[in-house]
């Protein structure tokens, strides 16, 4: 594991029972195959063919990402095939969306009264970039290969960086580990329940990558759930380095294998995250054996400047309470309570049940709610990345659906827990993981380009022309501004002079092939 996470890994080793309590349940073997989930169209999701992290959140406490460059194409294709040969004794297997439920709500094919039918100690998934498909000689061997609806994927993250605000210190020339240089071919992602499992499976994978010169490892990065001490014991949390509780707002997929608490939003159609024939804005890549049941993801490593963020909160305490400002910037209090439900305090009278923390709307169909942002600023981070019923660019009806631009994020923090008593420790902290979507252009790039880094995203609500997402937007201190509206005609609170709190350290546009697609690639000889 990386040096930054060694201390947490040690704590995890000592506190393994806490990981099991929060992230897992007791092992129970599979007794029968999980039924396929239906999407209501009569065309069920083939869970056994879809990579698991597209549809399921693993809720495992640690992850390792391997960035690989293809060495010998034939050996590389052969190894990919072994990852889906069904033989665990040969190599670790790609995790699909079927067979087990752990750390999340049972889905339509699960009996909620049953214990999980299988308790894995690892999950394995992979993504391939367009240069990776070329290096694997797929284009050379498959004349019909076509990704005609997916120009962003073919161009790659580096070429499209300006469209999503990856400029300045976030520009591709500053990315680490060979990202964006053309040799970033395959990302292999290993989730694990314990440090021992991480070490064991990592050692196996590294040996496999080297067999026959198949792949060359050019970078690896570790993520791990942040720990906090309770009663002298290390306990994993769902927090990020800025101090907010993460993972409250989850994307519900119609017919998907997971159920989430109500959130006032219509379920997303499965074709927004799984490549399917009924999609409204793309053609499945050809040949069909390669494209169907796949997806796309944007891998990102994002450094978070916690010191700068905390200092900015304190520097404005004469205008607004620092914790209230943190809530206004995000759209939630740091404990997860949303401003829409509790604009004045993070501990409302009577409390809010956990299953209700995501059950709210910004603007209802009749125009009521919080259209002016008096509770939650229209320009707040959470309201930009998922506007819900707010009329915005791409959707102009109050109470309408913004589902066609939704994303699924799978990620974990990297680096140790921030210690405010030692703010200038020189240690990098951040998040790394995937933004999953079927259309990088219409989902990831749309959200970052139009909603995060543009002031005109909010339709009839006129924001300052220089305003961007205050938390993750690409900011210029000479122009940056965040406006907090006030009730009863009072003058709004205006915050200025802040620079970007996040920096992109790496990015890659990946194709997430189905099990059938991986077998197809392996069968090319």
Cα–Cα distance measured from residue 506 to residue 373, given in angstroms and rounded to the nearest whole number: 34
Secondary structure class of 126 (helix, strand, coil) = strand
CA–CA distance from 246 to each of 190, 388, 419 (Å)? 21, 18, 19
Whether 36 contacts 160, CB under 8 Å: no
- pLDDT recorded at residue 119: 63
Give me 307's structure tokens.
């010191």
Cα–Cα distance measured from residue 339 to residue 331, given in angstroms and rounded to the nearest whole number: 6
Cα–Cα distance measured from residue 378 to residue 362, given in angstroms and rounded to the nearest whole number: 9
Mean pLDDT of the chain: 89
* Range 512-516 average pLDDT: 98
Burial class (CB within 10 angstroms; exposed 0-12, middle 13-18, buried 19+) of 27: middle
pLDDT exceeds 80 at position 246? yes
CA–CA distance from 152 to each of 155, 156, 161, 438, 524 (Å)? 5, 6, 10, 11, 26
7 CB contacts (<8 Å, ≥6 apart)?
Answer: 416
- pLDDT recorded at residue 1: 46
Q: Which stretch of 101-110, 162-171, 356-365, 454-463 has the lowest confidence by average pLDDT? A: 101-110
For residue 395, name the pLDDT band (cuts at 50, 70, 90).
confident
Give me 246's structure tokens.
């993460």
For residue 363, name the pLDDT band (cuts at 50, 70, 90).
very high
* Range 446-474 average pLDDT: 90
For residue 113, name the pLDDT band (cuts at 50, 70, 90).
low
For residue 108, name the pLDDT band (cuts at 50, 70, 90).
low
pLDDT exceeds 90 at position 25? no
Return the residue matching tokens 């520097």.
315
Cα–Cα distance measured from residue 218 to residue 201, given in angstroms and rounded to the nearest whole number: 18
- pLDDT recorded at residue 229: 87
Whether 319 contacts 493, CB under 8 Å: yes
Stated as kind and residue range, the H or E segment containing 309 is helix 306-315
82 CB contacts (<8 Å, ≥6 apart)?
Answer: 90, 91, 208, 522
For residue 504, name the pLDDT band (cuts at 50, 70, 90).
very high
Strand ranges for 51-121 from DSSP E: 62-70
Secondary structure class of 229 (helix, strand, coil) = strand
Whether 187 contacts 510, CB under 8 Å: yes
- pLDDT recorded at residue 291: 98
- pLDDT recorded at residue 335: 96
Taking Cα atoms as reference points, which of 172, 414, 162 lies closest to residue 306? 414
Q: Which stretch of 21-25, 123-127, 358-362 has the lowest confidence by average pLDDT? A: 21-25
Query: Residue 415: how many CB atoms within 10 A of its CB?
Result: 25
DSSP 8-state secondary structure symbol assigned to residue 457: G
Residues 143-162 pLDDT 10s: 999 999 999 999 999 999 99
pLDDT exceeds 80 at position 305? yes
pLDDT exceeds 80 at position 94? yes
Per-residue b/e over 194-231, b at no fewer than 16 CB within 10 Å? Answer: bbebbeebbeebeebbeeeebbeebbbbbbbbbbeeee
Cα–Cα distance measured from residue 397 to residue 408, given in angstroms and rounded to the nearest whole number: 24
The residue length of the chain stands at 525
For residue 112, name the pLDDT band (cuts at 50, 70, 90).
low
- pLDDT recorded at residue 471: 98
Give me 98's structure tokens.
């079927």
- pLDDT recorded at residue 99: 63
- Rounded to 5°, angle at Cα 243 from 242 and 248: 105
- pLDDT recorded at residue 277: 97
Q: Which residues pair with 461 in a beta bridge?
A: none
Secondary structure class of 170 (helix, strand, coil) = helix
For residue 31, name the pLDDT band (cuts at 50, 70, 90).
very low
């Amino acid at each position: 594991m990386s040096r930054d996470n060694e201390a947490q890994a040690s704590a995890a080793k000592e506190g393994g029972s806490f990981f099991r309590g929060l992230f897992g349940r007791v092992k129970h073997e599979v007794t029968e195959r999980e039924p396929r989930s239906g999407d209501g169209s009569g065309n069920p999701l083939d869970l056994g063919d879809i990579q698991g992290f597209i549809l399921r959140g693993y809720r495992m406490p640690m992850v390792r990402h391997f960035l690989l460059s293809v060495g010998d194409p034939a050996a590389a294709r052969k190894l990919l095939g072994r990852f889906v040969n069904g033989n665990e004794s040969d190599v670790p297997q790609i995790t699909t969306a079927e067979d087990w439920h752990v750390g999340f709500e049972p889905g339509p094919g699960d009996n909620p009264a049953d214990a999980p039918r299988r308790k894995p100690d690892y999950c394995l998934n992979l993504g391939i970039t367009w240069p990776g498909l070329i290096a694997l000689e797929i284009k050379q061997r498959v004349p019909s290969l076509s990704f005609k609806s997916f120009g962003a994927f073919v161009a790659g993250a580096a070429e499209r960086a300006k469209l999503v605000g990856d400029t300045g210190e976030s520009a591709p020339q500053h990315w680490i580990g060979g990202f964006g240089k053309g040799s970033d071919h395959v990302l292999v992602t290993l989730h694990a329940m314990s440090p021992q499992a991480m070490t064991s499976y990592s050692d196996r994978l590294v040996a496999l990558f080297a067999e026959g010169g198949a792949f060359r490892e050019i970078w690896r990065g570790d993520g791990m759930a942040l720990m906090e001490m309770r009663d002298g014991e290390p306990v994993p949390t769902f927090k990020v380095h800025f101090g907010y509780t993460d993972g409250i707002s989850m994307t519900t997929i119609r017919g998907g294998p997971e159920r989430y608490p109500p959130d006032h939003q219509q379920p997303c159609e499965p074709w927004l995250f799984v490549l399917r024939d009924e999609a409204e804005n793309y053609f499945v890549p050809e040949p069909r054996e390669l494209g169907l049941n796949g997806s796309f993801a944007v891998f990102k490593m994002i450094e978070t400047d916690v010191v700068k963020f905390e200092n900015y909160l304190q520097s404005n305490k004469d205008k607004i309470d620092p914790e209230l400002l943190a809530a206004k910037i995000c759209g939630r209090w740091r404990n997860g309570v949303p401003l829409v439900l509790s604009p004045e305090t993070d501990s409302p009278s009577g409390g809010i049940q956990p299953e209700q923390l995501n059950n709210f709307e910004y603007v209802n169909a009749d125009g009521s709610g919080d259209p002016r942002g008096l509770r939650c600023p229209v320009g707040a981070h959470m309201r930009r990345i998922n506007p819900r019923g707010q009329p915005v660019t791409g959707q102009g009806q109050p109470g309408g659906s913004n589902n066609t631009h939704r994303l699924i994020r799978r990620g974990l923090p990297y680096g140790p827990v921030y210690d405010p008593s030692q703010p200038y420790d020189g240690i990098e902290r951040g998040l790394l993981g995937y933004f999953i979507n079927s259309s990088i252009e219409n989902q990831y790039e749309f959200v970052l380009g139009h909603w995060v880094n543009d002031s005109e995203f909010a339709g009839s609500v006129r924001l300052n022309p220089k305003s961007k997402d205050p938390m993750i937007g690409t900011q210029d201190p000479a122009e940056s501004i965040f406006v907090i509206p006030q009730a009863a005609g009072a003058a709004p609170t205006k915050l200025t002079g802040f620079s970007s709190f996040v920096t992109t350290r790496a990015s890659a546009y990946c194709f997430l092939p189905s099990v059938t697609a991986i077998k197809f690639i392996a069968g090319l000889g």
